[in-house]
Amino acid sequence: MPKYSPDVCRQIAQEFNKCNLVRPMRVDHYDAGTELSYEMTGVAPADKAQVTLAVDKFIGGGFAGQVYRVIVKSLSGPCGGLEIGKRYAMKILVPPSRGSKVFRDAVYMIGFQGSFSPQVNVSAARAGALWQKFIRRAAALRFGSERTVKDIHATFVDSTIGSCGEISEWVEGRNWRFECDDGLDTRSRRLDDQSETVNYGASPEYLSKKTFMDDFVKMLHEMGASEFARQYYWWTCKSQPNVFKRSDTEAKPTEGLTAMDFRAGLALLPFLPMSPGDVVLIGKGIARGSLVQFDRPNMKKFLAFVSANAGKFEDMQAALAELIACEERYRESLLDVTHHHVRLLYSAGLWRSVLEGARESWKTRRITDDIADASLRRSRCKTIVFALLGLIPLLGRMCRRSWGRADLRAHYGRMVRDVGYLRQAVRGRLLEKLITWHRKGRVSEAHALWLMQKPVRILWELPLGFMFVFIHRWCTDGEAFRSAMRYAFVRPVRLYFNAEERQRWMLDMIEQGISNGMLTSTEADGIKAQLQDDYIQKYLKALAVHVCTLPITQVVSVTLGIILGIHYGGSFAEGMAIAGFTIAIFQMIPVSPGSFTRGAYVVYLALKERNYRDYNIAIFLGFFKYVGYLAFPIQMAYRYPSLARFMAGHWATGAVHVVPVFGERGALLEHAAFDLFYNHPLTIRRRMGEVAQARLAQAPRRWHVAPIAGAVVLAMAAIELVSFHIYGALPTLKNIWWAVIALPGAFGALTTLWAGGMAFRGRIMLVLKVAPLMAAASALAHLGLMLALNAGGEHMLKIAAMDAMWRVFLFGLLGVLGALRTEISVAPPAPAPSAVEQKVAV
């Protein structure tokens, strides 16, 4: 959620109260500083107490609910181990976004034919909390400590937002730290190490987290909580943020891992997988007999697990009895045709439970008040009619509100009878909308207060409310628009020319790195101490140039698209299609105008300073889109490892965060991007160094290049001759593109592979020297075929000359690429077995 002013929201709320409406203000979010009071029920033991909380910070949320950091201000008695003055995590099981709530509830309704139970059903909320307690105890058996699972203290019902909620342990921790590892090729072997003293090498956090999550999933299956395991499967690529590393274990990379989340947000429908991993989960669920998955356990398996470990669960018998009762009430409160099946046709008790669950749902969501709830409980017919009204769009919702709540009946009645009250009701609704706008960052503090003075002004901005947030903000806040333009166009230039600006830019990124766990305070202090080095300043200046090149591709692609659309589009639709296609092409090609500019700048620096060594990686990567932004962080890897790791992580992970679902902070895609753009080049460098060292014992070899080149020439000629006999004409290079790619690539690969002890540079130069000669020989062979087969026509020499030029260019380029690909891929020699290993083998 963007930054906003809680004080402004409170002022708008006070203005709402001046409207003197019969109904209360709609609340879907709490601001920092808000005090809340709940009657809470502890989780094992089930103590009840009145608890007052102060909201310290809104953390965020997803489909499962919204999370706050709160401080306990007062307690009327013991309640689940809560302590006054201590910080806790409060989760209210309603998404912070209305769109997310609508989607979540719709998916759940399709799967279980009822409202989202953890939000509206106290038994469902209690069951989830009790399951977390039992999983915590099981984790102590498996991992030696209950700290591997976040503790949960109490549950409650929030009658303001209309949802169940829970209070749990506040865990000071983070997601994984990006680790510098030049041994990606050995990472899987390190993971499979089954020895008592596992050596995770340079990636202890990454590998220990994977091991922990795999073991945690096995434990959940063993105790019958298979659907809870959905939150922790590694291979779904989106479950990694559900495991934190506690801050008090920073000195021990493999310790402190803690399972954080046991509230699923979305039901898993068999026909609606949300990711490729969900397809596997759907198959596993069907194999267990669970067509729709959410949080259903195997109670027989669970009770057997508890019985087998009776000594460890001896003090939880009361909690076990409550869990069994809550599970039964929870499951019986839903129609759930995929699990109840034919019971719905004959079980009167099941239907009574379903109706009772519906009434509880309506009351929790504030659709009914106490009087209406008591009335519905006395009449099954009224309950059914009330439920059917909910199926009618718009009108049914208003009818249920009028029927279910006395304050809304009075509110609607006065709106009809009293024009003055109607005016105040509209004013109040607009003020509620204004609070939402301000929290989302659509309007600034000053503009929000200006609209608050005369809420009718909000009506003029309602169309902007359907547009992107930044467009709404730019249209109503000139300073925000000017700031965005300065950031996009002026800031890059200032970064290049102003050393202090570059240093501030870097310090801001370092602070972000500390806040999101990429850097420790010690690492940050070390980086800050290095910022004055000439080498660092040179790289920061180069990074500023990279920032300057950000808009080049977009400007060129849009401009060219418009020009082509105007000139070649017969109609407006055709012009738009051509422009869109042109822009799309620019997004797909590996080298763009912006990346070419970056690469050219790096070449300029290397030539100006006559210094290839300090730019040997950046000079290559700089020419490519996306990857080019990481050229200088990777270049700094060995001289400034902490800074390089942070810069690569900052740029690469920032790019993947735009990916829905999988781009979440801490998810596997984030780490994969870091590995790809940082650790993978380091691994290649290490492997190539080991290979070069091993080759020192071999003699250089050059003679083999001649027979390889001759074989390529003969193969090309043979392919052309066969093609002539099949199609009746000699092929162009375009016709046999696959051979044009494969044969020169094979030439480069075999040349470098069999070059003995020749140095890397000598191998590439050998390919570059011979490839043009090979291309010329192939072009002569092609000319000979044209003459022998009389297939050249009148412009034979012109065609042959053009063909020769293309062969020289393509054979040289593809030959070098084939050699580079082979050099990158060739495996270093296996290390000699140690004396201990030799002894064991004997």
Residues 611 and 629 placed together within one structural domain of the fold:
yes
Q: Return mean pLDDT, the chain.
A: 88
Which candidate, 208, 216, 298, 321, places its Cα nearest to that of 260? 216
pLDDT band, very low/low/confident/very high, at 634 (cuts 50, 70, 90): low
Could you tell me if residue 273 is left (phi over 0), alpha (psi between -120 and 50 degrees) or otherwise beta? beta
Residue 667 confidence class, pLDDT cut points 50, 70, 90: confident
Same domain, 502 and 620: yes
Inside any domain, residue 258: yes
Angle formed by the axes of helices 552-568 and 593-609, to 10°? 140
Position 836 scores a pLDDT of 42
How many other C-beta atoms can be found within 10 angstroms of the C-beta atom of residue 540? 20
Q: What is the pLDDT of residues 706-738, one digit of tens each?
A: 999 999 999 999 999 999 999 888 999 999 999
- Chain segment 466-478, per-residue pLDDT in tens: 888 989 999 999 9
Residue-level pLDDT at 837: 45
pLDDT number for residue 678: 74
Question: pLDDT (tens digit, 9 = 90+) per residue, 569-627?
Answer: 778 788 888 888 888 887 777 777 888 887 888 888 888 888 777 777 777 777 777 66
Could you tell me if 812 and 770 lie in one domain? Answer: yes
- Residue 18 placed within a domain: no
| Dihedrals phi, psi of 373, to nearest 5 degrees | -65, -45
* pLDDT attached to residue 840: 44
538 band by pLDDT with thresholds 50, 70 and 90: confident
Q: Can you give the pLDDT at residue 226?
A: 93
Residue 3 belongs to a domain: no
- Same domain as 377, residue 452: no
Mean pLDDT score, 317-323: 96
**For 796, phi and psi rounded to 5 degrees?**
-60, -50
- Is the pLDDT at 551 greater than 80, yes or no? no
C-alpha span between 460 and 34 (Å, rounded): 31
Cis peptide bond prior to 641, omega within 30° of 0: no
* C-alpha dist (Å) from residue 653 to 209, 545, 681: 19, 20, 16
Residues 536 and 594 in one domain: yes
Of 323 and 178, the structure prediction assigns the larger pLDDT to 323
pLDDT digits (tens, 9 = 90+) for 327-365: 999 999 999 999 998 999 999 999 999 999 999 999 999
Q: How far apart are the C-alpha atoms of 503 and 494, rounded to whole Å? A: 11
Is residue 333 domain-resident?
Answer: no
532 assigned to some structural domain: yes
Q: Are residues 239 and 351 in the same domain?
A: no
Encoding tokens for residue 469?
A: 């947030």
Question: What pLDDT shows up at residue 485?
Answer: 87
Q: Are residues 561 and 509 in the same domain?
A: yes
Higher pLDDT among residues 17 and 621, named by residue? 17
Do 718 and 769 belong together in one domain?
Answer: yes
- With contact defined as beta carbons under 8 Å apart, do 779 and 807 qualify? yes
Q: How many domains is the chain partitioned into structurally?
A: 5
Q: CB neighbours of 771 closer than 8 A, spacing ≥ 6? A: 744, 747, 748, 808, 811, 812, 815, 816
152: in domain:
no
The whole-angstrom distance between residue 682's C-alpha and the CA centroid of its chain comes to 25
With beta carbons less than 8 A apart as the criterion, state whether 519 and 513 touch. Answer: yes
Residue-number span of the structural domain to which 232 is assigned: 174-297
One-letter-per-residue 3-state SS of 257-301: EEECCCCCCCCECCCCCCCHHHHHHHHHHHHHCCCCECCCCCHHH
Residue percentage of the chain with pLDDT more than 70: 94
d(CA 333, CA 330): 5
Look at 287 and 500; give whichever has higher pLDDT: 287
Rounded Cα distance between 289 and 753, Å, is 54
According to the model, what pLDDT value does residue 775 have?
A: 95
- Residue 622 phi/psi, 5° resolution? -60, -25
Mean pLDDT of the 172-197 span: 76
Q: Which of 444, 437, 446, 429 is nearest to 466 (CA)?
A: 437
User: Minimal CA–CA distance to 159: which of 117, 130, 100, 119?
Assistant: 119
Task: Residue 489: name the closest of 404, 548, 562, 422 by CA.
Answer: 548
740 token code pair: 């044009």
Residues 464 and 578 reside in one and the same domain: no
Distances (CA, A) of 791 to 303, 597, 805: 83, 44, 19
Q: pLDDT confidence of 112, banded at 50, 70, 90?
A: very high
468 and 490 in one domain?
no
> Which DSSP category does 148 fall into?
G
